[in-house]
Structure 1
Amino acid sequence: MKTYIYKIAALIVIATALHSCEDAIDLEPISDIGADGFYANADQVNLGIIGAYNSLQEKQFDEWVVTELRSDNTQLSFDNSQNANVPYRQLDQFVSNPLNEFTSSYWRASYKTIGLSNHVIEAIDVVEDATLAAQYEGEARFLRGHSLFNLVRLYGGVFIVTETVDASQARNLERKSIEEAYTVIIEDLEFAYNNLPDSYGSDQAGRATKWAAGLELGKALLTLGTSDSKVRAEIVLRDVVSSSGGRLLDNYEDVFDTNNEMNDEIFFAVRYQSGLVGLGAPFANLFSPRASENSVVFGGGDEFNVPTEGMESLYAANDPRAGVNFSTSWVDNVGNTNFERFISKYNSDFGNVDDAPNDWVISRYADAVLLLAETINENSGPTTEAVDLLNLVKNRANQPDAVATDVDTFFEFKLALEEERRKEFAFENHRWFDLVRNNRAVTVMNNHFATDFQYNDPDAPFFNTAPIQQFQTLLPIPQYEIDLNPSVAQNVGY
Structure 2
Amino acid sequence: MKTYLRQLIITISIVTLYTSCSDQLNLEPISDIGANEFYQNTEEINLAVVGIYNSMQNMLDKEFVLTELRSDNTYMSPRNSETANVPYRQVDRFVLTSQNIFVEDYWRACYRTISLANNVITQIDVVEDQELADKYEAEARFFRAHAYFNLVRLWGGVFIVDKPISGEEAKTIDRSNVQDVYDFLLADLEFASNNLPNTATGQDLGRLTKWAAKTELGKAYLTLGGHSNLTKAETVLSEVVYDSPFSYLPSYANVFDISNEYNNEILFAVRYQTGSVGLGAPFANYFAPIQSDNYVVTGSGDELNVPATSMSNAYPLGDDRKDASMADSWVGFQGQVNEYRYIKKYNSDFGTVDDAGNDWPVIRFTDAMLLLAEAINESSGPTADAMDLLNQVHERAGLTAYDAGEIGTYFDFKLALELERKLEFAFENQRWFDLLRTGRAVTVMNTQFATEDQYNDPNRPQFKTEPIQEFQLLLPIPQYEIDLNPSIAQNIGY
Alignment of 1:381-400 (within 5 A): 381-400=381-400
Q: Secondary structure at the match of 2:268?
A: strand
Structure 2 equivalent of residue 169 of structure 1: 169
Structure 2 equivalent of residue 101 of structure 1: 101
What is the rounded CA distance, in whole Å, between the counterparts of 1:15 and 1:173 in structure 2?
A: 25
Q: Secondary structure at the match of 1:483?
A: helix
- Could you list the per-position Cα deviations for residues 161-187 of structure 1 after superposition, in whole angstroms to 9, with x for gaps in the alignment? 111110001111100000000001100
1:5/1:294 Cα in 2 relative to 1: closer, same or farther (>3 Å)? closer
Identical columns (%): 55
- Could you list the per-position Cα deviations for residues 100-158 of structure 1 after superposition, in whole angstroms to 9, with x for gaps in the alignment? 00011000000000000000000011100010000000000000000000000000110
Structure 1 equivalent of residue 17 of structure 2: 16
Q: Secondary structure at the match of 1:299?
A: coil
Alignment of 1:107-256 (within 5 A): 107-256=107-256
**After the TM superposition, which segments of 4 or more aligned residues of structure 1 sit over 4 Å from their partners?**
none
What is the rounded CA distance, in whole Å, between the counterparts of 1:149 and 1:372 in structure 2?
A: 19
What is the rounded CA distance, in whole Å, between the counterparts of 2:252 and 2:336 in structure 1?
A: 30
Q: Secondary structure at the match of 1:405?
A: coil
Q: Secondary structure at the match of 2:258?
A: coil
Structure 2 equivalent of residue 27 of structure 1: 30
Q: How big is the shift at 1:25?
A: 3.3
Deviates more, 1:42-51 or 1:398-407: 398-407
What is the rounded CA distance, in whole Å, between the counterparts of 1:15 and 1:164 in structure 2?
A: 16
Q: Secondary structure at the match of 1:406?
A: coil
What is the rounded CA distance, in whole Å, between the counterparts of 2:4 and 2:46 in structure 1?
A: 14
Alignment of 1:370-449 (within 5 A): 370-449=370-449
Q: Secondary structure at the match of 2:192?
A: helix
What is the rounded CA distance, in whole Å, between the counterparts of 1:201 and 1:291 in structure 2?
A: 42
Structure 2 equivalent of residue 84 of structure 1: 84
Q: Which amino acid aligns with 1:51?
A: G
Kept in 2, the 8 Å contact 1:21–1:28? The answer is no
- For normalisation by structure 2, the TM-score amounts to 0.98
- For normalisation by structure 1, the TM-score amounts to 0.98
What is the rounded CA distance, in whole Å, between the counterparts of 1:6 and 1:139 in structure 2?
A: 18
Q: Which amino acid aligns with 2:367?
A: D
What is the rounded CA distance, in whole Å, between the counterparts of 2:109 and 2:195 in structure 1?
A: 26
What is the rounded CA distance, in whole Å, between the counterparts of 2:137 and 2:411 in structure 1?
A: 40
1:278 partnered with 2:278: yes
Structure 1 equivalent of residue 340 of structure 2: 340
What is the rounded CA distance, in whole Å, between the counterparts of 1:2 and 1:16 in structure 2?
A: 24
Kept in 2, the 8 Å contact 1:376–1:382? The answer is yes
Q: How big is the shift at 1:6?
A: 4.6
Q: Secondary structure at the match of 2:405?
A: helix
Structure 1 equivalent of residue 51 of structure 2: 51
Kept in 2, the 8 Å contact 1:5–1:207? The answer is no
What is the rounded CA distance, in whole Å, between the counterparts of 2:241 and 2:130 in structure 1?
A: 28
- Could you list the per-position Cα deviations for residues 186-225 of structure 1 after superposition, in whole angstroms to 9, with x for gaps in the alignment? 0000000000001122211111110010000000010011
Kept in 2, the 8 Å contact 1:376–1:383? The answer is yes
1:349 partnered with 2:322: no
What is the rounded CA distance, in whole Å, between the counterparts of 2:5 and 2:453 in structure 1?
A: 45
Kept in 1, the 8 Å contact 2:45–2:124? The answer is yes
Number of residue-to-residue matches in the alignment? 491
What is the rounded CA distance, in whole Å, between the counterparts of 1:122 and 1:2 in structure 2?
A: 28
Kept in 2, the 8 Å contact 1:25–1:170? The answer is no
Q: Secondary structure at the match of 1:375?
A: helix
Structure 1 equivalent of residue 299 of structure 2: 299
